[in-house]
Amino acid sequence: MGKGFRFFFVHVVYLRPFSEVEPFVVSHREFLDQCLTLGTLLLSGPLIPRTGGLLLIRGTDKDEVASLLAKDPYAKEGVARHDIFEFQPIKACPELSGLLGGD
C-alpha cells in the first residue's frame, strides 16, 4: 500500500451473546489473515471481557474500509457491527514509528 493511506480504528461490537458469535470466530480470523496479506490490517484483537474487538486498519478513505469490513463474516452473519473511527497518528513508540510515514 503506497502513500496517501489513512488510519482507522475499528470497534467491533458484538450484537449477540458470545455463544452466538463463537461459531464465526475461525472464519472471521481467516478474513483478518487476508486483510493482513493485503496490508490493510495492522493490529487486531478481542476486548476483555469478550464483548467485541479492536482493529487498526489503513485505507484510502472510510468508505473503502466500510466496504472491506462488509466482507467480514461477523458482518455478513449479523453478529457484530463495525464502528469506524478515522484518526491521525502523530507519535509512536520506536517499534511502530514506521507507520507514521516520512523518511
What residue ranges do the domains of the chain occupy?
6-88
Residue 103 has pLDDT above 50, yes or no: no
Say how far apart CA 8 and CA 61 lie, in whole Å.
9
pLDDT for res 101: 67
pLDDT for res 50: 95
The upper half-sphere exposure of residue 95, i.e. CA atoms within 13 Å in the direction of its Cβ, equals: 2
pLDDT for res 2: 46
Could you tell me which residues come within 8 angstroms of residue 12 by beta carbon, excluding any fewer than 6 positions away? 52, 53, 54, 55, 74, 80, 81, 82
Domain over 6-88 is classified CATH 3.30.559.10: no
Kindly report the pTM of this predicted structure: 0.90
pLDDT confidence of 68, banded at 50, 70, 90? very high
pLDDT for res 102: 53
